[in-house]
Amino acid sequence: MAFWSRRRRLARTRVSWLRRFLRWSWLVLLLLVIADAAYLASIWPDWAAYRHGPIQRSQFIRDYDRERQQRPDWPKLRWRPVAIDGMPKHLVRAVIVAEDSRFYEHEGVDLEALKEAMEYNLSQQRLAYGASTLSQQTVKNLFLSPSRNPLRKWHELVLTLGMERSLSKRRILEYYLNVAEFGRGIYGVDAAARYYWGVPVSRISARESIELAATLPSPVANNPRSNTRAFRKRVDKIRRYFRH
C-alpha cells in the first residue's frame, strides 16, 4: 500500500509541475508576443510619407554611412535617387525578370516561388535559394537588417503586407530600384549606371540593364567590374528569359 501511495503522490507532483510549467510557458509566450507587437508598432512606417514625394534613405544606406566611419578603406557612399519615369523600360523589365517574375501577380509574398525554393533546397540538402519578392527585399532594405534570423523574417513579412496595402506596385518598384545595392557603397540604379559606365541611368542600354540586374544577388563580389564567372552566367541566364 505504501508503494502505491508513493506512486500516486509522485504522479500528482508531476501533473502539478507540468501544469505550472505550461502556465508559465503560456505567460512567457504572451509577454513575447506583446513585446514584439510593441516593437513592430514602434518601427511601423508612416506609409503616407512613402506613398508620394522624394525617395527616403534606406536603413541599409544609413548603416553603410555609419559603418564607413569605422572602415576608412570603404569607398564613399554613392546614391542618386531618380523617378521611375527616368529609367529605361528595359531596365525595369530586366530587374523584374531577374528577381521577381510574378511581381505584379502576388500581394507581397510569392507562395509558388516559396514552394519551389523549399523543394529545391530540400533536394540539395542546403539553403541554396531563397524566395524573397521585390516587395520583401524593399522592406528589408528600407527598415530592417541583412540578418536571416526567424524574427527578422517575421517582421519582414508583416511590413511587406503593410506596404503592399499602402503603396502601389509602381511605387514599390521605384523604391526598390533606388535603394538596392549594386556594389560596395553603391545604392540605386542611377548611382550604379554612373559608376560602372559613366552615364545617367536614362542612357544605359538593354545589355547594361541586364548586367545591373545580374549584380543584385551578390553586388560586392559579382558586378560589371569584377566580371566573375558567376556574374557572366547570371547575365546569360537573364538574357535568355529577357528575350521571351
The better pLDDT of the pair 200, 13 is held by 200
Same domain, 54 and 31: no
Same domain, 17 and 130: no
Same domain, 63 and 33: no
Same domain, 110 and 190: yes
- Band (pLDDT 50/70/90 cuts) for residue 115 is low
Ramachandran angles phi, psi of 64, nearest 5°? -65, -45
One-letter amino acid at 178 equals: N
**pLDDT in the model for residue 72:** 87
Same domain, 104 and 11: no
One-letter amino acid at 90 equals: H
Average pLDDT over the chain, rounded to whole?
Answer: 86
For strands 78-79 and 181-183, give the pairing: unpaired
C-alpha 212/C-alpha 222 separation (Å) is: 10
Same domain, 25 and 71: no
Same domain, 133 and 28: no
Could you give the number of structural domains in the chain? 2
- Band (pLDDT 50/70/90 cuts) for residue 6 is low
Query: Tens of pLDDT along 165-175?
Result: 999 999 999 99
The better pLDDT of the pair 63, 4 is held by 63
Same domain, 73 and 36: no
Same domain, 178 and 232: yes
The better pLDDT of the pair 215, 129 is held by 215
Query: Tens of pLDDT along 127-141?
Result: 445 568 999 999 999
Same domain, 131 and 162: yes
Same domain, 23 and 113: no
- Band (pLDDT 50/70/90 cuts) for residue 21 is low
The better pLDDT of the pair 28, 101 is held by 101
| Domain boundaries, position 202 | 48-243
- Domain harbouring 75, CATH code: 1.10.3810.10
- Band (pLDDT 50/70/90 cuts) for residue 219 is very high
Same domain, 69 and 178: yes
Q: What pTM, to 2 d.p., does this model score?
A: 0.84
